[in-house]
Each structure stands twice: as C-alpha cells, then as structure tokens.
Structure 1
Amino acid sequence: MSARLHLVRHGQTPSNVAGALDTALPGAPLTDLGRDQARTVGAELAASDIAPSVILSSEAARARETAGLIADATGLRTQAVPGMYEVQAGRFEMRTGNEALLAYNRLVRDWLEDGVLTSSLPGGESALAVQERAMPVVSELRESHLDNGTDVVLVVHGTLMRMIAVFAGAVPSQWALVNRIPNCGVIELAPDGGGWSCERWGDHLGRPPF
C-alpha cells in the first residue's frame, strides 16, 4: 500500500459539547471523552501497518493534545504545523445558538454546494483564503514524506479536513457537504497520479461510494 495522508479530527472539547464556534487559536482543550477518543485512534494507528515518522497537528490546543495522546500510543514525537487551523468564524467566534451555527453551516454550503468560494462570514475567511493557507502545506507533506514512502498523520479540524479533500480533488463537494467527520474521525488521502484519491472517510473504509 502506498503512503497516505491520514487527516484526523481532534477529540471532543467543551466547545463541541456547548455547540460553540471555537475556531480561533488556541481554543479549548479536550474533555475526558475527547482524551479517550484520542487514545482509541492512537491505538488503532499503532496497530495498523502505517509508518509515520512524526504526528503532526494544527497549533490549536485540542489538536496538539490529541496528537500528543496519539504519539503516546505510537512512540512518536509531535510537531505543530502553522496555517492548519479551523475555518474561521469571524464575529461568530465562540457564539452558540441557531443564528451562529446556521451562519457557519450556510457558509460551508455556499462553498460546497453553490461553489461560491469568495463567500465569508464577517471577520472570517473565504474558501479561497483557506485553500491558499492549507494546500501548500498538503503539497509539501506529499513531496517530503509521502513521495518517499512515509505516511503522514495530521491532526486538524472537521471543516478544514472536508475542504482539503475537496481542494485535492479526492471527493465530490456534495459528498463532503453531507458527510461530516466526527471527533477523532479519519480521512485518508493517497497520491493518485498527479492528484489524490480518498481511501477512507470516517467509517467508510476503502474508497467511499460516491
């Protein structure tokens, strides 16, 4: 099996429980359940046949903590990667309730269903801005690790993970819109010629049924 990019969503946080739009750095830590989720995915990765050299994460506290618990299970070191934070909520940051959640979800729908990549929330960012900061990191990881046969585990955030998969051309945008990723869910992307293929999406093992 060729080397893959394993995108892992962080474990549960108090903000997840409260339904708060927690997107700015450093963000909330994990809950006890979130730590258990991270240990579980760490054990799964340790028992697999993948061969990463480091567990990477975004700079958010919840991603760093998740990466640390995965590293404990795999015996690897961790490293935070700039620019891989969650899609920014702007003036809705840390807001709860229907207005904030609907606004954020509507933004993602504008991007993935309607293709309006310039849309953003007030004080937030557009899909084009997300693409500009995230995809060079993905390309660099491919060149420096995957192309040399080394898997990459990167702990990041749910909406960012879905957008990366779409930007990479690995999944249809409608699939990414409808199929969200749970805490500590995994998306696996594999180099496929000059592009990428999706080999796992959450509980869908193997190529998802697009």
Structure 2
Amino acid sequence: MRLLLIRHGQTPSNVKHLLDTAEPGPALTPLGQEQAAALPQALAAERIDALYASTLVRTQLTAAPLAAAKQLDVLVRDGIREISAGDLEMRGDDEAGETYITTALAWSAGNTELRMPGGENGVEALGRFDAVVEEAAKSGAETVAMVSHGAAIRMWVAARAENVSAEYAAAHILRNTGVVVLDGSPDRGWRVLLWEGRPLGPEDVVPGTSGPAGEAVGTGDADR
C-alpha cells in the first residue's frame, strides 16, 4: 500500500507556537486555507483510493478540498489525532515544546512506556495510529491519504519505517501540509519514499535507536 501522511494547514495556534492538541481544536488561518486549497494540485498525480482525517477540525478542513477533487468521503478517525500534550496543553514556551517532541520521539526510539506529562504513553499513541493504518490496509485500497498532525506523523514514521530513525525525525520538521510518502504494509513493514518531496537514500539513514538528539529538536513544529 502507498500511504500519504499529510500534516494539516496552518492554524492560529501554530502561529502563536502553542501546544494545542485538545478536541475540537482551532480552524485554519487564511494561509492554512490556501495551503489546503493547494493540496489537490500538489497531489494531482496520486490516485488516492481512500482519504482519512483526524477528529480535530483542522485536519478535516485541510482534507475537504482534496476530498472534493478526488470525489472521496473523508473518513474521520480518532486514532490519527495529535499526540495529547497533557499537562503541557496550550503552553508556548521552549521547555514545554522540547519536552513534548522529545517524549514523542523517545517512543519512536523504543521507550514506549514513557508518558507525556499528564498524557498518554507511547504504547497508547502508537497503538491507536497503528489501528487506523491497519484498517486502511485491510480495505484493499492501493493508495491511502491521511491528514494528521506534525508530531504524530513524525513519531509514527520514525517508529515504523525501516529507513527513518528518531534522530532523522527530530532533525526534519514537517511543515503545514507537508507530505510523507511511504510504501509497505502492517505485516511487511514500511519504508519512506519521500519526505516533503525529497527522496530518502542510504545517506539519510541515521543508524542506531538511541533516541532523539536533543540539539536537533525543534520546538516550533510540534503542532503548536
């Protein structure tokens, strides 16, 4: 299966660098609306068989133009919502942002029992995202697009793709409406083909799973 993981368009909380992860969440800014409107053209070459979005408003608004262009219903699933910020919710300081993304990428590196302060742990976060991907794979669709969230996408991809480590995900921010393209299945595993349009080669693979490198963690992109 070809899997397209798309981050939602810009929101007011992104502009303010806030960890805004609760439902229903904010709508899109005017720029975010333009980004969503540009997705059909950007993905015109993709034959998308199924389109998913999370339960947060911003992903559904981002998915709407693509759904119209591809004549698809948007399948709303809680499992691909953003990682809950817990006690860090609506904070915009650097310490909170670093704690949030470092915890999420520690799950990717294997420390899945670690819990977000006041929130979920890696077993829970990966499990719910896995369930939606498995549902899509069992549907028989050849190409599936999922509009999700920056931290959730980076965390899941680094945990499940054989050629992307936590270190790589820590060092590569996923911008609003950025797309990660993967090939594989829940049984065979996953491999990233494109990260925001850039093919991944052997030189991009960071060996080891020691966890995210602190100096590479950006605090402005964790779906804030």
Q: Which range, TM-score by smaller chain?
A: 0.7 to 0.9
Question: Which residue matches 1:40?
Answer: 38
Structure 1-normalised TM-score?
0.87
Task: Give unpaired runs (5+ residues) of structure 1.
Answer: none
Question: Which residue matches 2:195?
Answer: 201
Q: 2:117 aligns with which of 115, 118, 122?
A: 122
Question: Which residue matches 1:18?
Answer: 16
Cα distance in structure 2, aligned partners of 1:201 and 1:186: 6
Amino acid at match of 2:146: L
Q: Indicate if the aligned counterparts of 1:43 and 1:74 stay in contact, CA closer than 8 A.
A: no
Secondary structure of the equivalent of 1:56? strand
Cα distance in structure 2, aligned partners of 1:53 and 1:105: 31
Give, in angstroms, the shift of residue 206 of structure 1: 5.7
Cα offsets for 1:62-101 (capped at 9, x unmatched): 0010011222333322221122111110011112122321
Question: Which residue matches 1:172?
Answer: 165
Cα distance in structure 1, aligned partners of 2:17 and 2:144: 30
Amino acid at match of 1:162: R
1:151-170 paired onto structure 2 within 5 Å: 151-170=143-162
Secondary structure of the equivalent of 2:58? helix
Range with bigger deviation, 26-35 or 183-192: 183-192
Q: Indicate if the aligned counterparts of 2:179 and 2:196 stay in contact, CA closer than 8 A.
A: yes
Secondary structure of the equivalent of 2:102? helix
Secondary structure of the equivalent of 2:83? coil
Cα distance in structure 2, aligned partners of 1:81 and 1:155: 10
Cα offsets for 1:89-122 (capped at 9, x unmatched): 0011112122321321332353346x42222232
1:24-63 paired onto structure 2 within 5 Å: 24-45=22-43, 47-48=44-45, 50-63=46-59
Structure 2-normalised TM-score?
0.82
Secondary structure of the equivalent of 2:13? helix
Question: Which residue matches 1:139?
Answer: 134
Cα distance in structure 1, aligned partners of 2:201 and 2:140: 22
Structure-2 change in CA distance of 1:201 and 1:64 (3 Å): same
Cα offsets for 1:9-61 (capped at 9, x unmatched): 0000000000000111111111010111111122121x20x322332101100
CA RMSD, aligned part only? 2.0
Question: Which residue matches 1:72?
Answer: 68
Does residue 106 of the first structure (1) align with residue 102 of the second (2)? yes
Secondary structure of the equivalent of 1:117? coil
Cα distance in structure 1, aligned partners of 2:42 and 2:67: 12
Cα offsets for 1:135-159 (capped at 9, x unmatched): 122122112134xxx2111100111
Q: Indicate if the aligned counterparts of 1:5 and 1:188 stay in contact, CA closer than 8 A.
A: yes
Structure-2 change in CA distance of 1:206 and 1:72 (3 Å): farther
Amino acid at match of 1:134: F
Cα distance in structure 1, aligned partners of 2:77 and 2:201: 27
Amino acid at match of 2:150: G
Question: Which residue matches 1:184?
Answer: 177
